[in-house]
Amino acid sequence: MPIVLHDTLSREMRPLSLKAGKSTFGMYCCGPTVYGPAHIGNFRTFTLQDVLRRTLEVDGLKVKHVRNITDVDDKTIRGAQAAGQTLTDFTKKWTEKFHADCKALGLLTPQVEPSAVAHIPQQIAMIQALVERGHAYVSKDGSVYFKVHSCKGYGKLSHIDFSKQETQATNSAGEANDADEYERESASDFALWKSRKPEDGNNFWPSPWGEGRPGWHIECSAMSLAHLGATFDLHGGGIDLCFPHHENEIAQTECATGINGFAAHWFHSAHLLVEGEKMSKSKGNLFTLDELVAKGFSPMEVRYALIAGHYRTSLNFTMKGLEDARSALGKIERGVEKLLQVAGFTKAEFSVPTVMETQTAWGRFAHAWEVLQHDLNIPGCLGQVFTMLADKSELTEAQARHDLSGLGKILYALGLVLFTEVAGPSAPANVVALAAQRWSAKQAKDFAAADRLRKELTELGWTMLDHKDGYDLKK
RNA sequence: GGCGCGGUAGCCAAGUGGUAAGGCCGGGCUCUGCAAAAGCCCCAUGCGUCGGUUCAAUUCCGACCCGCGCCUCCA
């Protein structure tokens, strides 16, 4: 059964499958602008794209995932100058940070991660094609603009009728759209190539229209064309990119290539709220992964919290949500442990994906998988997983193995890696000594002393968890 | 104003034309010297409001109220 997904352009549920004659499913996702650490809002989008990719792979499709690095734009140029670094050094630093965060969150590496700077010639070629075909014009200062009126169907993704809105002169805040700033013919036209300006510093490239740098939208059009062709299977991004970025990508690529039908499917994910409020720097709720880890949450808990809501609904990200995620992951781990026991597998065997790949069974998790296949319903799928884990039917070894095969594939699709718990901070010597004392007292049945020592430990911020033959210390 | 999303228990969050998944919290019990952990059980006659269609609506239709997003470079 193919995966069915809501498509932003047609606004319909559509099955995702390989086009006739194709062997890979091509998906392009707009990547980060590398001028600082990505925040959890960015990672919600990237994580959901990762789940989509993994789900497609579990479904048997060979996926070619392309996610670009935006390394030339106003923000990266400004950031590099503020840091006193070259654009290359500056963006390299933040690209590496991005990769480290992705790895921690368990995101699979895209097959291609093109950089905008590395595709300047392709962008220039595309702009040239647009000028030649009459879809773009060169302004007096050497900038090039896309002529929105020349593009039939512009607005089809965001469903905006530009024939009636062509002279929109103000934005939502009531501010005038500065149509003269770049000598545009129309306020709707957008820059393909920006002529060199003093504030760009050394960041300019030669072009047929003089020195300058590419506009933002053309970067993605050129990179998707270079790596996936004029048409491909799916394009993803945050909902905010729907307009204008993706609308412009469609216009640029279709007008430059003359081929209708850019991305067959549009996958947009809703935004994140933090503690019920929109994320913003001024509210101080723009968390990075590092900040959450510093608060004591594991990247896997963050991942769970980020995918725990449906991708088309905005998700309220809270500290309590992270704690919920921790408990829920623990519950899944205990359920899996129980199944492993019955199946006669070790934890290590479970975490090796190849074990799962050789298994085709779904066991009692077939329904959970069906739920996930329907519009990437992660919360519904998780609900079904918990329902099955709570089912107390007696299982044979074979049945448990089938369950593990199915559950293993679902957990792989969700990118949830279990049993990664690293040891907490080790206790200081005085705490260790107190704990040892209490254990002795308890063994000697001197419960008054044991209780007194437990209290002391609590005051030091440590909890002693007694087991049958020993104890753990937890902060 | 245009386009779009949503309002389901204390919190988070699925879902369905036939009477509400799941997670967290909370309560009870079991097991533990205590504590914790864990296990078991309980926890929405109700799905923004008001109408309509229907044998039956939270689910379809209409109106309204409320919250949110985008509307030229924010995932």
Question: Between residues A44 and A188, which one has the greater pLDDT?
Answer: A44
Q: How far is the CA of A317 from the C1' of B49 (A)?
A: 29
SS3 label, residue A378: helix
Q: How far is the CA of A287 from the C1' of B11 (A)?
A: 21
Q: How far is the CA of A395 from the C1' of B30 (A)?
A: 24
Q: How far is the CA of A390 from the C1' of B42 (A)?
A: 16
pLDDT for position A353 = 60
In this complex, the nucleotide whose C1' atom is nearest to the CA atom of residue A446 is: B33
Which of the 52-111 residues on chain A come under 7 Å of nucleic strand B at their beta carbon? 73-75
Which of the 147-176 residues on chain A come under 7 Å of nucleic strand B at their beta carbon? 148, 158-161, 165, 168, 171-172
Q: How far is the CA of A186 from the C1' of B3 (A)?
A: 21
Q: Above pLDDT 90, what percent of chain A?
A: 66
Asked if the model's pLDDT at residue A41 lies above 50, the reply is yes
| Amino acid at the residue A456 | E
pLDDT tier at A172, thresholds 50, 70, 90:
very low
Asked if the model's pLDDT at residue A176 lies above 50, the reply is no
For A219-271, how does the pLDDT look when each residue is reduced to its tens digit (9 = 90+)? 999 999 999 999 999 999 999 999 899 999 999 999 999 999 899 999 999 99
pLDDT tier at A475, thresholds 50, 70, 90:
confident
Classify residue A170 by its DSSP letter: B
In this complex, the nucleotide whose C1' atom is nearest to the CA atom of residue A187 is: B72
Region of A391 on the Ramachandran plot (φ > 0 left; ψ -120 to 50 alpha; else beta) = beta
Nearest CA to A127 among A117, A138, A141? A138
Question: Between residues A84 and A281, which one has the greater pLDDT?
Answer: A84
Which of the 405-424 residues on chain A come under 7 Å of nucleic strand B at their beta carbon? none
Q: Return the minimum-mean-pLDDT range out of A150-159, A189-198, A299-308, A402-411.
A: A150-159
pLDDT for position A238 = 93
pLDDT for position A167 = 42
- Average pLDDT, integer, range A347-361: 72
pLDDT for position A177 = 43
CB of A463 under 7 A from strand B? yes
For A119-166, how does the pLDDT look when each residue is reduced to its tens digit (9 = 90+)? 999 999 999 999 999 999 999 899 999 999 899 889 899 888 776 544
Burial of A276 (0-12, 13-18, 19+ CB in 10 A): exposed
Nearest CA to A452 among A468, A441, A467, A466? A441
- Note the strand B nucleotides within 7 A of protein beta carbons: 1-6, 11-15, 21-25, 32-41, 68-75
pLDDT for position A403 = 93
ipTM for this model = 0.94
CB of A338 under 7 A from strand B? no
pLDDT for position A179 = 42
CB of A37 under 7 A from strand B? no
For A432-454, how does the pLDDT look when each residue is reduced to its tens digit (9 = 90+)? 888 989 999 988 888 888 989 88
Classify residue A186 by its DSSP letter: S
CB of A276 under 7 A from strand B? yes
Domains of chain A: 3-269 (3.40.50.620), 282-414 (no CATH), 429-474 (no CATH)
Q: How far is the CA of A265 from the C1' of B70 (A)?
A: 20
CA separation, residue A235 to residues A7, A349, A437 (Å): 10, 35, 61
For A314-339, how does the pLDDT look when each residue is reduced to its tens digit (9 = 90+)? 898 999 999 999 999 999 999 999 99
Q: How far is the CA of A162 from the C1' of B38 (A)?
A: 62
CA–CA separation, A403 vs A389, rounded Å?
10
- Average pLDDT, integer, range A186-208: 92
Q: What is the mean pLDDT of chain A?
A: 89
CB of A327 under 7 A from strand B? yes
